[in-house]
Amino acid sequence: MKTVIVEDSELIRTQLQRLLRQQPRIQIVGTATEETEATALILRTQPDLVLLDLSLAPGSGVHVLRKIREAGCGARVLILTNNTGQSLRLACQQLGANGFFDKSTELAECLAQIDALLPPLPNNESLRLEALHGTHLVDTPEQEAFDNLTQLAARITDAPIALISLVTEDRQWFLSHCGTEVRETSRSIAFCAHTILRNEMMVIEDALEDPRFHDNPLVAGGPRIRFYAGVPLVLPSGEAVGTLCVIDHQPRHLSDGQRSALKTLASSVLAEIELRRRLLHLEQESERRRAAESHILHLATRDPLTALPNRATFRDRLDQHVRFAQRRHTRIGVLFIDLDHFKPINDSLGHDVGDDALVKAAERLTKVIRNSDTVARLGGDEFAVILADIAGHADAVQVATKIINSLRTPFIAKGHTLHLSASVGVAMYPEHGGQGDQLLRHADLAMYQAKQTGGDKTCLYSRALSERAEETQALDTDLREALRRDELILHFQPQANLSAGTLCGVEALVRWRHPHFGILPPDHFIPLAEQRGFIGEVTRKVLDMALRQLRDWDEQGLEVPRIAINVSPSEIRANFAEMIEAALFRNGVEPQRLELEITESTLSSDGVETMQLLEQLRSIGVSIAIDDFGVGYSSLSQLHRLPIDCLKIDRSFIEDLETSQFDLSIVDAIITMAGAMKVRTLAEGVEKDGQLHILEGMGCHCVQGYLLSRPVPAPEAAAWMTDFMRQPRPLELAS
């Protein structure tokens, strides 16, 4: 209820304001202290209620009352005064005051009357408001369908005004208004606020005769309602959101026909409201579906981690670019990017850190390339870029270099400082492929080449890469076959302690007896088996053949103290020790007679895990030799911590031993160091007497090399060893 307070005493004014604010349905729209100001305020704000003091300084409340009534204002006016003389009371009544109270004694009565003026609220008010706002009709523009219905209502009932009134928290708002330009009034004076309390039509034939409305501002002032008939608009869910009503300025009544017509029209209004509600619902539903679809599309086309296009999207775009380039005779560059050594980051620091690093790497890539280019995450630590419309491969390589450089600045991922580098392969349209998939495959091949040659570099695709890849693929198939067909065989190379004249052992070296190419050395197929992940099968085969050979020699009475086999770095992982133990058991060989040769690089790669595995092997009783020692990364000072039995000094140090002071001092240091640690030493690749003498002088335990014997098939090895044990100085044999 919009209320104005006219009172010149500040004390009383603030007290009134405080009291009225306790009723949330009362809204004080202004206060005034003197006559002119008060009159102007009331006429401007058109309140529903005025609390009026009679003695104003300057001016008089009686004057205010007269002036506003003369101006047609119908607001209810309650007089609050100290001057309660009977004649004054009468005068005020005649001027249209609606109540007269003694300020000092009747304040409570006054407030009670104000409360009584507020129309009661329906029991389901909050549900009702929810349902009303659910229609999304309040404060919408006029709609023809509703206007047609109010016009019809006015015509049928022969009334000057017809309205569709929606009753909100504090207003009635007219969804359609026929016969008046007014679009809303306060709820506190609305007839319709009473209609919605009922289930059926409310008819007020003469408002002046009804105690609820006789002094209603809409009756006393514009639009001077005398007659009202309203049908509540009750939604299917049971809430009355408003009315369809007709109004006349004369007292009158409705015929039965008019009543039922008005009800029918109200049903039509409801049908329209319901129709709109459903349409809106459908719209919202399809909006939701659209949003869901675009979300799904995003999921299908984007990589969820980096939000870059995914592999499928990349392939699509690449095809588009190729078609475009075909028509325009332009070129495209395709970059295949793979982060170097990324797996250890994930493994050791956790996936959170890895993911964060990938997101940041993606950001850097995006910054380096142009807007017209596409960068995508293909999966894992692989990214790819389309360089649209590029002049030539030199430019593409330049972008690739920029990318590598951009990744070189250390990353901070979840608090960890990471140093990343990348290998990038470049393929060009049209020279390196006419189709998207081919370009991507060739860029991948080039990336692989970059990685193979140390990483942190760019490689441009060439035909030779494909040829090599094809050969490798063919070899791969053949090698798997070879394993099944027992085409792998062993050659043996003896290891001897010359000063003692004893045989230390024999190294088993694998060969492939290829049906077309003859005997292939291990470097033709071992790296392939390592890459393709079936080196384990090769090792199992070699291990079994070697152990069986040792047993055979035992049975022939040839006592070979130990057999050594080579183990690839990638095999040094879980279950390896069990596999070894099972093979020893299967072949009935004591663990002490097996030596595993592992390269130095294996030791430096993954500390803890490798160390545990070596300990495990040693606990079985197997002996461990470091192969190719000296060329790897481990420093001599680390050696004492490793659980090893033998150091095999790399061939490269032996080769120039007679002439190179440098090699001499290294080999000397290795032997001294190993001696201190009680680790055996074995020199590889001994081909000359001179080398042998030097090694003997330094105290090297064993030697292996062409000087003694090349790696040879078992029978020849047996013959050599038998001979050696009978004639203990092969040095003299050789010379």
Q: Which is nearer to Ca ion, 355 or 628 (CB)?
A: 628
Pairwise CA distance, residues 386 & 377, whole Å: 12
With binding defined as CB under 6 A, does residue 509 bind ligand C2E? yes
Chosen from ligand C2E, Ca ion, none, partner binding at 436 (C-beta under 5 to 8 Å by type): none
Tokens of 43: 């006429």
How buried is 485 (Cβ within 10 angstroms: 0-12 exposed, 13-18 middle, 19+ buried)? exposed
Contact 132, 241 (CB under 8 A): yes
Where does 308-447 show beta strands of DSSP type E? 332-339, 374-379, 382-387, 411-413, 416-418, 422-429
**Minimum CB distance to ligand C2E, residue 481 (Å):** 18
How many CB atoms are located within 10 Å of the residue 500 CB? 11
With binding defined as CB under 6 A, does residue 566 bind ligand C2E? yes
Pairwise CA distance, residues 118 & 212, whole Å: 10
What is the size of the binding site for ligand C2E (CB under 6 A)? Answer: 22
Q: Which is nearer to Ca ion, 526 or 698 (CB)?
A: 526
| C-alpha distances out from residue 628 to 473, 496, 646, 673, 685, Å | 29, 18, 11, 16, 10
Which region among 1-9, 32-40, 230-238, 565-573 touches ligand C2E (by CB under 6 A)?
A: 565-573
Picking from 338, 336, 325, 324, the residue whose alpha carbon sits closest to that of residue 431 is 325
Tokens of 587: 């072949």
With binding defined as CB under 6 A, does residue 672 bind ligand C2E? no
Pairwise CA distance, residues 388 & 372, whole Å: 7
Chosen from ligand C2E, Ca ion, none, partner binding at 663 (C-beta under 5 to 8 Å by type): none
With binding defined as CB under 6 A, does residue 706 bind ligand C2E? yes
Chosen from Ca ion, ligand C2E, none, partner binding at 685 (C-beta under 5 to 8 Å by type): ligand C2E
Long-range contacts at 405-413 (CB < 8 A, ≥ 24 apart)? 406/364, 406/365, 406/367, 406/368, 407/339, 407/361, 407/364, 411/357, 411/360, 411/361, 413/349, 413/353, 413/354, 413/356, 413/357, 413/360
**Minimum CB distance to ligand C2E, residue 613 (Å):** 16
With binding defined as CB under 5 A, does residue 595 bind Ca ion? no
Q: Which is nearer to Ca ion, 7 or 595 (CB)?
A: 595
Binding track over 535-564 against ligand C2E, x by CB under 6 A: -------x----------------------
Chosen from ligand C2E, Ca ion, none, partner binding at 732 (C-beta under 5 to 8 Å by type): none
Residue 59: left if φ>0, alpha if ψ -120 to 50, beta else—which one?
A: left
**Minimum CB distance to Ca ion, residue 627 (Å):** 4
Among 7, 373, 627, 663, binds Ca ion (CB under 5 A): 627
Residues of this chain, 150-179, that bind ligand C2E according to CB under 6 A: none
Among 628, 645, 658, 716, binds Ca ion (CB under 5 A): 628
Q: Which residues pair with 506 in a beta bridge?
A: 494, 563
With binding defined as CB under 5 A, does residue 566 bind Ca ion? yes
Among 338, 340, 444, 597, binds Ca ion (CB under 5 A): 597
Which region among 21-29, 312-320, 593-601, 673-681 touches Ca ion (by CB under 5 A)?
A: 593-601
Residues of this chain, 587-606, that bind ligand C2E according to CB under 6 A: 597
Pairwise CA distance, residues 166 & 305, whole Å: 50
Which region among 39-47, 298-306, 666-674, 704-712 touches ligand C2E (by CB under 6 A)?
A: 704-712
Chosen from Ca ion, ligand C2E, none, partner binding at 523 (C-beta under 5 to 8 Å by type): ligand C2E
Q: Which is nearer to Ca ion, 272 or 600 (CB)?
A: 600
Q: Which is nearer to Ca ion, 188 or 566 (CB)?
A: 566
Q: Which residues pair with 683 in a beta bridge?
A: 649, 703
Among 73, 117, 526, 589, binds ligand C2E (CB under 6 A): 526
**Minimum CB distance to Ca ion, residue 630 (Å):** 10
Picking from 649, 589, 648, the residue whose alpha carbon sits closest to that of residue 622 is 589
Pairwise CA distance, residues 526 & 535, whole Å: 7
**Minimum CB distance to ligand C2E, residue 610 (Å):** 16
Tokens of 406: 């951009």
Tokens of 32: 């005034």
Residues of this chain, 618-637, that bind ligand C2E according to CB under 6 A: 627-628
**Edge-to-edge strand ranges of the sheet holding 76-81:** 27-32, 2-6, 49-52, 76-81, 99-102
Among 165, 186, 216, 493, binds ligand C2E (CB under 6 A): 493
- Kindly list the residues in this chain that would bind Ca ion in the complex (CB under 5 A): 566, 597, 627-628, 684
